[in-house]
Amino acid sequence: MTTTTTRPRSYLVRTMGCQMNVHDSERLAGMLEAAGYVPAATDALAEERARAGDTLAEGADIVVLNTCSVRENAADRLFGNLGQLASIKRGRPGMQIAVGGCLAQHLRDGIVERAPWVDVVFGTHNLDVLPALLDRARHNAAAQVEIEEALKVFPSTLPSKRESAYAAWVSISVGCNNTCTFCIVPTLRGKERDRRPPDVLAEIEAVVAQGAIEVTLLGQNVNSYGVSFGDRGAFAKLLATAGRTPGLERLRFTSPHPAAFTDDVIAAMATTPTVMPQLHMPLQSGSDRILRAMRRSYRSQRFLGILERVRQAIPHAAITTDIIVGFPGETEEDFADTLRVVSEARFASAFTFKYSPRPGTPAADLPDQVPDDVVAERYGRLIELQERISTEENQRQVGTTVDVLVAEGGGRKDGDTARVTGRAADNRLVHVALPAHVGPEEAPRPGDMVRAEVTHGAPFHLLADSGLRGGTFEVRRTRAGDAWQRARDGAHDHGGAAGAGGTVRLGMPRVR
Ligand code: SAM
Ligand code: SF4
């Protein structure tokens, strides 16, 4: 890395969008650290403001924006953020700004044309070029834009700085072969590329050896995993084999597709104790007519049938979903079908989206776009229904005992009650009260497990305050908690500013 000062240059990666982007950001941070950059100091308040959409540079020499183009107004938000960064950059000579991710892949040179103070633009297929482009932009004093049309390097082969010491994402595939008419992902992420099972299993073993006890397998459509290497049953087999990894306690995956979701996967989930009783199953619409127009090949009856079979095999499974409101041509009758399916499905929670035309997708050109006010009104009704169901389902948890994997930074004060926050086995968010007698030494660390009884169900979380009344409260210190502590102590010893995420490690060897 070329540098004119002896102080190492600091970086900040801001992530918008889905888990794929969060995972890619771990690779970006890993590569930057392998190239000699150090994480910029951020404080909790800054993190909070950044989560609220403010892009803070926080003294960073390099700011990387890892963008998403799925959400509404993505481009406006990007250029808004870049506008804020421009004024910071004016006061800080040598600062560099890089833009990557789906929106960069989409807008390409358009980013530097509108925001000439941007130094580097890279795409979804070539994360690996970031350090070299930063060097080249500095050396040539000119913006560098490099976008590839197809995947050059599987991201899993790159160095990684994991966000969390106790839970890890592991990609099983990138890209998508489906052609949902609303979705820009296949255009920007390309055709599906599957990793070979031995590579996936080796990465799981490696992250578990580093202290992770939870792994989430990632792919745009995990059910089609294996089709490329001639094994349609590969995902179920992978789940069962990965689930037997010694030391792994919790295995999750996202996302399956209702069209390709087969019973062998349900069987693997039900018979592999480490596969958690949770399923994210994107519905998108409850209207068969709209599903056809979306080019989603299942119908609402098949969707509900899947939920029924999952619940038969795994009675306590919490099922979540994605729903789009206001797809072109959606009538009140179609929307009523969505409300009906939502009522029957009894999702634990739902990610709800107002349809947003993505330029270049077939649906964006359909004539009968639904007016904004109609979409907003339907959206409000859907949220109201789902919140009522989520509340009822969460209230049904009261009295059950949950094992919560404690997350970082989740501690919240509620009057006199100190609580830690984490996820139950079924992925519900739980705030667990610490009894007064639990001192700092015995308190659960991020990565440890706490067992408590649920005492309250709210729309988006559970409270488990049994420990305050002398009821169930057990802490199990785990390898993951130890790993978190080691990482935190290491960060302190080295004066690091980052959280206690994993250390940088080399990417997995590539077999393909
Ligand atoms: N591969 C996953 C699947 O098949 O469901 C989801 C991928 S997408 C990144 C995440 C969610 O964003 C989708 O499930 C969909 O609900 C939502 N989404 C995608 N494109 C959208 C659009 N143009 N407008 C509104 N929501 C959209
Ligand atoms: Fe997009 Fe459909 Fe592929 Fe999901 S399955 S990424 S919604 S094209």
Burial class for 302, CB neighbours closer than 10 Å (0-12, 13-18, 19+): middle
Mutate to test the pocket of ligand 2, among 20, 183, 193, 298 (most ligand atoms within 8 A of CB): 183
Reported pTM: 0.88
Beta strands 401-406; 449-453: pairing state: antiparallel
On the CB side of 224, CA atoms within 13 Å amount to: 17
d(CA 2, CA 79): 28
Q: Where are the alpha helices (DSSP H) in 35-148?
A: 44-51, 74-90, 102-107, 110-114, 130-140
Spacing, Cα 255 to ligand 2 middle (Å): 9
pLDDT at 496: 44
Measured CA to CA, the distance from residue 90 to residue 81 in angstroms comes to 15
Give strand pairing partners of 62.
11, 96
Any ligand 2 atom below 6 A from CB of 257: yes
356 HSE (CA, 13 A, CB side)? 11
> Using CA atoms, how far apart are residues 156 and 500, in angstroms rounded to an integer?
21
Block residue for tokens 């018979």: 271
Distance of CA 304 to the CA centre of its chain: 25
Query: Tens place of pLDDT for every residue, the chain, 512 residues?
Result: 444 556 889 999 999 888 888 889 999 999 999 999 999 876 554 554 554 444 555 579 999 999 988 776 788 889 999 999 998 999 888 999 999 999 999 999 999 999 999 999 999 999 999 999 999 999 999 999 999 988 877 777 778 888 888 999 999 999 999 999 999 989 888 899 999 999 999 999 999 999 999 999 999 999 999 999 999 999 999 999 999 999 999 999 999 999 989 999 999 999 999 999 999 999 999 999 999 999 999 999 999 999 999 999 999 999 999 999 999 999 999 999 999 999 999 999 999 999 999 888 999 999 999 999 999 999 999 999 999 999 999 999 999 999 999 998 755 544 456 899 999 999 999 999 999 989 888 899 999 999 999 999 999 999 999 999 999 999 999 999 999 998 888 766 554 434 444 444 444 333 22
502 within 8 A of 165, measured Cβ to Cβ? yes
CA-to-CA distance for 272 and 240, rounded, in angstroms? 6
178 lines ligand 2 (CB under 6 A): yes
Q: Which residues sit opposite 320 in a β-bridge?
A: 280, 349
**Ligand 1, CB cutoff 6 Å, lining residues:** 18, 70, 182-183, 185, 220-221, 255, 257, 282, 284, 322, 324, 353, 355-356, 358
Local structure of residue 459 (DSSP, 8 states): S
Give one DSSP letter per residue of 148-190, joined into a string. -SS-SS-GGGS-EE-S-SSEEEEESEES-----TT--HHHHH-
Is the CB–ligand 2 distance for residue 185 below 6 Å?
yes
Angle at 504 between CA 503 and CA 506, to 5 degrees: 135
For residue 457, report the distance from its CA to the centre of ligand 1, in Å: 28
Q: Which tokens go with 300?
A: 């609402």
Q: What local confidence, expressed as pLDDT, does residue 416 receive? A: 57
- Pocket lining: 220 vs ligand 2, CB cutoff 6 Å: yes
- Residue 198 tokens read as 């031995």
467, with CB counted inside 10 A (0-12, 13-18, 19+), is buried
Q: What is the pLDDT of residue 230?
A: 93
Q: Which two tokens stand for residue 435?
A: 């009894």
d(CA 463, CA 512): 47
What pLDDT is recorded for position 433?
A: 95
* Alpha-carbon gap, residue 483 to 488, rounded angstroms: 9
Q: Cα separation of 291 and 246, whole Å?
A: 41
Give me the sheet containing 349-354, strands edge to edge. Answer: 278-280, 318-325, 349-354
Residue owning tokens 């139950």: 424
Kind plus residue range of the DSSP H or E element containing 431: strand 429-433
